[in-house]
Amino acid sequence: MEAPVERGWQAGDIAATREVPPNGAAPCHVFRMTVRVGYHETDGQRRVHHANYLNYFEQSRVEMLRAAGFDYRRLEDEGLMLVISELNVRYRGAAEFDDILQISTWVTNVRGARIAHHHQVARDGQVLVECDLICGCIDATGKVRRLPPNWVRHFAPDGTSGGSAEP
């Protein structure tokens, strides 16, 4: 019998490892979490509404930070925030109500005030949705600010002080 998975993530449903990501790029920290599709996330055909994948990506980015020992709330308390400046989503298939999905997230580029992520949503190993996005770091007035240096060091895909996991 399959272990129950609640909506959102549970301690046993997340993993963060340094590895070669599924796209074969340079080794980096790959974060994975498992979600079960809730009925409220679906449209009239019981498929996940396209906009809800953005919520999965956001949740995964925040949990990736937490798993790495960084606290997004603390970043905001210090007057910084991440805003999405670019977003490209590719839909290859549809997830449906009650599906168990694996969300994989990794940083593809980090330097200065920008951090780029790649997200994959898969069901039973089949990639359904992919997303590339860039977040910019700003302060409360909207002025661009550099990312904290420890973030850059940690998430640099090539293990340097900043770099790229783009193939």
- The CA angle 7-12-17, to the nearest 5 degrees, is 110
DSSP 47: B
What pLDDT, on the 0 to 100 scale, is given for residue 10? 40
What pLDDT, on the 0 to 100 scale, is given for residue 8? 41
Q: Please choose, from the candidates 82, 134, 126, the residue with its C-alpha nearest in 3D space to the C-alpha of residue 104.
A: 126
Q: Find the catalytic residue in 13, 43, 99, 139.
A: 43
What pLDDT, on the 0 to 100 scale, is given for residue 56? 96
Pull the structure tokens for residue 78.
Answer: 């210090």
Burial class (CB in 10 A: 0-12, 13-18, 19+), 158: middle
Is 43 considered catalytic here? yes
Domains of the chain, start order? 11-164 (3.10.129.10)
Q: Please choose, from the candidates 121, 119, 120, 123, the residue with its C-alpha nearest in 3D space to the C-alpha of residue 99.
A: 123
Mean pLDDT in runs of 10 for the chain (167 residues)?
A: 39 56 65 94 94 95 90 92 96 96 93 95 97 97 95 74 43
Find the distance separating the first CA and the last CA of the chain, reported in whole Å: 39
